[in-house]
Amino acid sequence: MSTLHDLISTEPSVVTAGVELFDDALAAQAVATHRVEWRPPLDGTDEDLARVMGDERRAAANARAIERMLAASAELVDVRPAREVLGLQPGEFLHAGPPLSWYRASGPMRGALIGAMLFEGLADTPDDAEAKLAAGDGIALQPCHDRGGVGPMAGLVSPSMWMFELRDETHGQTSWCTLNEGLGKVLRYGAYAPEVIDRLRWMGEVLGPVLQTAVRQRGSIDIKGIISQMVQMGDEGHNRNRAGTLMFLRELMPDLIDSGAPSSRVSEVARFIGGNDHFFLNLVMPAGKLQSAAASGIAGSSVVTVMARNGTDFGIQVSGTGGQWFTGPANTPDGLFLGSFGPDDANPDIGDSTICETMGIGGFAMASAPAIVRFVGGTVPDALYTSQLMYEITLGENPAYAYPILEFRGAPTGIDVTRVVRTGILPQINTGMAGKVAGTGQVGAGLVKPPVECFTSALSALAAQSPLPS
C-alpha cells in the first residue's frame, strides 16, 4: 500500500480523461500522463445499455464468441467458378454490403453491375445493360455476406467469375472471394471499359484454371499463417498486402511450375500476381469472414460479426442477432487522391473489405504498418494511437496477429456493440475510394468510420432480446 511519503517522494503519474488540454499542459511540463479515452455513452442509449449489460448470458456468450474467433483456421482449398461454388445462374449477381436495389445503387455499384452484364454476355452495350438492370426482369441481387462470402469494393460476383475457396477446418465452414483484378480501372471500382472486360476474360481463361491446378496439386495453403507473418512484416491486410502477396506467390510457385501449364501461361500468372500488391487482399477477406462467422449466432453475444458497405449504406451484423442487418448512411472517406481527383469525385464508402477490421487487422493494425499512412493519409503517431484506441472497443486480443511495435501485443479482436456505444469510439477503417460516377474507377484511398446508428440500432435489437431482470 502506498504511503504519504511514497506520494511526495516519487515522480507523479497522472491519469487524464476528457478534453486534451489538461493532458497537453502536463506533457509540456514533462509530467508523465496516462490518457484515458473516455466519453459519456451515446445519447438515448442508457436504457438499452442497462438491459443488454444486465443480460446474464452476455459474459459467457461473448467469451465463447471470442474463443471461437481465435480458434478459427483459414486454408485455401480450391479455385473454382462462382457457378460451381455457389450455383449462381445467369442474371444472378452478388454484391458487397447490406441488401440493395438498382435504384438505390451508387455510381460504382451501377458501373460494376453494367460491367458484369457485359462480361456475362447478357447485354451488348452499357446502355443495353443499364436498361435491363433497371427493368429487373431476370435479375436478382443479393449480398455476398448472405451467401457466406465477401467481395471487395462493389463486390460484384457473376456466374463466370473465378473464386478462391477457403475452409475453416476447426469449425467446418467455408468462405469465398473473387480473384483480385489489380488497381485503377477495374470492375470492383465500377469501371466497365473494354480493357476491364478483357482482363476479366483473361482471368477466367488463364488465371483461374492455372491457379486451380496448382492449388489442387498442393492440397491446401495456410492463409492464416501467411496473414500472421505479413502483419509482422509491415502489412495491415486491408490497403497494404505487399508482403502477403509475395509470400503467397513463394508458397505457390513450385506448384505453378509443376502444373503442366505452358511456361508462357505460368509466367503470365506469376507476373500478374507479383505485380499486383493487392492480390492477397482477396485471400485475407474470406479468412476474416471465416473468423467472424465462427462467432455468429450465439444468443446474448454483443460481438460484431460483419461490417460491410455497398456505396449507399453501411451495415453491421451482431452475433446475438444472427444475419439481421443494422444500417446507416455510408460516410465518405477522407484521404489522399490519385492524379487530379479530389473530394468531390469520391463515392461514399463501399465494399466488404471492412471484414479486415472486423477480424482485428486493417485500420486496427496501422501501428504495425506505419508505411500505410503514405497511402491513406495521417501520420505515424496517428497510426499508433489508432491501434491502441481500438483495444477500448474490443473484447479480446488475437496472438496470431501480433504487433511488434506494441511489444507483440495481439490484434484487438471482437468489436463489442456495448463498448462502442458506451465510449462513443467508432471502429477505424482504412480503405480505397471509388469514383462516384459509374465507370470512373479508383480515385484515392483514405480513412473512414461507420455511422453511429448501426451500433445504436443493433443495441436496441439486443435489448429487445435480453430477458427482463428477475
- Contact between 347 and 311 (Cβ < 8 Å): yes
Tens-of-pLDDT digits for all 470 residues of the chain? 445 555 456 566 676 655 555 666 666 666 766 566 556 677 678 899 999 999 999 999 999 999 999 999 999 999 999 999 999 999 999 999 999 999 999 999 999 999 999 999 999 999 999 999 999 989 999 999 999 999 999 999 999 999 999 999 999 999 999 999 998 789 999 999 999 999 999 999 999 999 999 999 999 999 999 999 999 999 999 999 999 999 999 999 999 999 999 999 999 999 999 999 999 999 999 999 999 999 999 999 999 999 999 999 999 999 999 999 999 999 999 989 998 999 999 999 999 999 999 999 999 999 988 888 877 777 888 889 999 999 999 999 999 999 999 999 999 999 999 999 999 999 999 999 999 998 888 898 899 999 999 999 999 999 999 887 65
Distances (CA, A) of 395 to 249, 303, 330, 417, 420: 34, 8, 25, 10, 11
Distance CA 445, CA 336 (A): 6
Looking at residue 466, its pLDDT comes to 85
pLDDT, position 18:
55
CATH number of 73-286: 3.90.1710.10
What pLDDT shows up at residue 374? 78
Cα–Cα distances (Å) from 411 to 72, 119, 312, 408, in that order, read 15, 39, 29, 9
Cell reading at 435: 469514383
What are the sequence ranges of the domains in the chain? 12-41, 46-70+297-465, 73-286
Pick one of 3.90.1700.10, 1.20.1050.10, 3.30.70.890, 3.40.605.10 as the CATH number of 46-70+297-465.
3.90.1700.10
Q: Which of 98, 175, 65, 39 is nearest to 462 (CA)?
A: 65
Quickly count: other Cβ atoms within 10 Å of residue 121's Cβ: 9
**For residue 357, with 0-12 CB atoms within 10 Å meaning exposed, 13-18 middle and 19 or more buried, which class applies?**
buried
Task: State the sign of the Cα–Cα–Cα–Cα dihedral 276, 308, 145, 222.
Answer: positive
> CA 46, CA 67: separation in Å to the nearest integer?
29
Pairing of strands 92-95, 75-81: unpaired
CB 402 within 8 A of CB 232: yes
Q: How far apart are CA 365 and CA 241, in angstroms?
A: 12
**What distance in Å separates the CA atoms of residue 116 and residue 129, rounded to the nearest whole number?**
9
